[in-house]
Amino acid sequence: MCPSPLTIQTADADDAAAVRALAEQATAEAGSPVLNEQSLIALAGATDTAPIVLIARAGEAPVAAAVIEVADAASTLELVLPDGADAGPALLDAVLADDRVPADRPVLLWAHGRGSRTAPLAEGRGYEAIRSLYVLRRPGSLAVEDAPLPPGVELSTFRPGVDNADWLAVNAAAFATHAEQGRWSAADLQARIDEDWFDAAGFFLARSSGSGELLGFHWTKTERAEPGGPITVGEVYVIGIAPAAAGLRLGSALLAVGLRHLQDVGAPVVDLYVDGDNTGARALYANRGFAEHNLDVCYRIR
């Protein structure tokens, strides 16, 4: 029997469940998520920016998808390529030909995890790898070293609706050179606060005890296989220090506070994502029990 011809179309609201099912299948096969958290939240319609989604069908059956986020500096692309159809090359060609993807700006393709189907496709087409994002992992039971807060600094936890603006300002300043994290909007923050996993008790703020100024934060996250089930992974979700407070060992202190919290709630392992070229953060995590666990690679395809 001849294989059904492949067609590629823009996915509409009716295709959302099919795209999520393809992503779940590809994730299970690859051993790590094929879409990042931002895409999953955007696909669920919880942010103010909607991605472009292309869906590939063999005959009637959805077989693969591409999720494209168009932004000022560059467009980013993730492919959902479950076993079966060889739809990757056709999806890449469709993205590059799509006139909603600005032709005068870079298009960046993410390959998530070492089991990614996207990486061999990108390598095969000779695309240049321009960024490495490491997943580091540490056993949750490892003793957390003492790291006192600098003098004149007070610890508190995040108050939704009260601390939002302060947090957005320090996040933007700390991550000014970071493509995604630095441009989080109020809606991006709110979308996370509204997630089931959100727990203000694991979202730590460090403020000046005199002025109350926010100097830094460590937001931890926990994942569970099913709601109410045991924690499967703890995460150093976002840690950032206001540039004016950098180098005071506040990062070390906040890291320890968050690791201790994740230990207290029973996280068996602690993961974090760090850019290969983020010297400061890599120095912070070095010698604190984190080992390389996985790798995401970003390719420039235009």
CB of residue 245 vs ligand COA: minimum separation in angstroms?
Answer: 7
Distance CA 186, CA 89 (A): 36
CB of residue 57 vs ligand COA: minimum separation in angstroms?
Answer: 38
Closer by beta carbon to ligand COA, 44 or else 286: 286
Residues 165-184, mask of contacts with ligand COA (x by CB under 6 A): ---------xx---------
CB of residue 200 vs ligand COA: minimum separation in angstroms?
Answer: 20
Q: Which of 249, 293, 300, 302 binds ligand COA (CB under 6 A)?
A: 249
Closer by beta carbon to ligand COA, 183 or else 249: 249
Amino acid (one-letter) located at 171: N
48-65 in b/e form (b: 16+ CB < 10 A) is eeebbbbbbbbeeebbbb
Token pair for 39? 């895409």
CB of residue 278 vs ligand COA: minimum separation in angstroms?
Answer: 5
Q: Which of 185, 193, 283, 292 binds ligand COA (CB under 6 A)?
A: 283
Distance CA 11, CA 259 (A): 41
Candidate ranges 1-9, 200-208, 242-250, 292-300; the one touching ligand COA (CB under 6 A): 242-250
Instruction: Name the percent of the chain in helix, strand, coil, to the closest 5.
Output: 30, 30, 40
Q: Which of 241, 267, 270, 298 binds ligand COA (CB under 6 A)?
A: 241
Closer by beta carbon to ligand COA, 225 or else 291: 291
Q: Any contact of residue 240 with ligand COA (CB under 6 A)? A: yes
Give the residue carrying structure tokens 């068996």. 268
CB of residue 271 vs ligand COA: minimum separation in angstroms?
Answer: 11
Distance CA 138, CA 291 (A): 6
CB of residue 87 vs ligand COA: minimum separation in angstroms?
Answer: 33
Number of residues this chain uses to bind ligand COA (CB under 6 A) = 20
Class of residue 214 by CB neighbours under 10 A (exposed 0-12, middle 13-18, buried 19+)? buried
Q: Can you count the helices (H) and strands (E) in the chain?
A: 8, 12
Amino acid (one-letter) located at 91: L
Q: Any contact of residue 248 with ligand COA (CB under 6 A)? A: yes
CB of residue 111 vs ligand COA: minimum separation in angstroms?
Answer: 19
Three-class DSSP labels, 44-93: CCCCCCCCEEEEEEECCEEEEEEEEEECCCCEEEEEECCCCCCCHHHHHH
Candidate ranges 24-32, 37-45, 195-203, 241-249; the one touching ligand COA (CB under 6 A): 241-249
Cβ–Cβ < 8 Å for 114, 295: yes
Q: Any contact of residue 278 with ligand COA (CB under 6 A)? A: yes
Closer by beta carbon to ligand COA, 117 or else 261: 261
Q: Which of 58, 70, 246, 269 binds ligand COA (CB under 6 A)?
A: 246
CB of residue 167 vs ligand COA: minimum separation in angstroms?
Answer: 13
Strands (E), 96-213: 107-111, 128-139, 153-157, 203-208
User: Which residues sit at the interface with ligand COA, rule CB under 6 A?
Assistant: 174-175, 239-241, 246-252, 272, 274, 278-281, 283-284
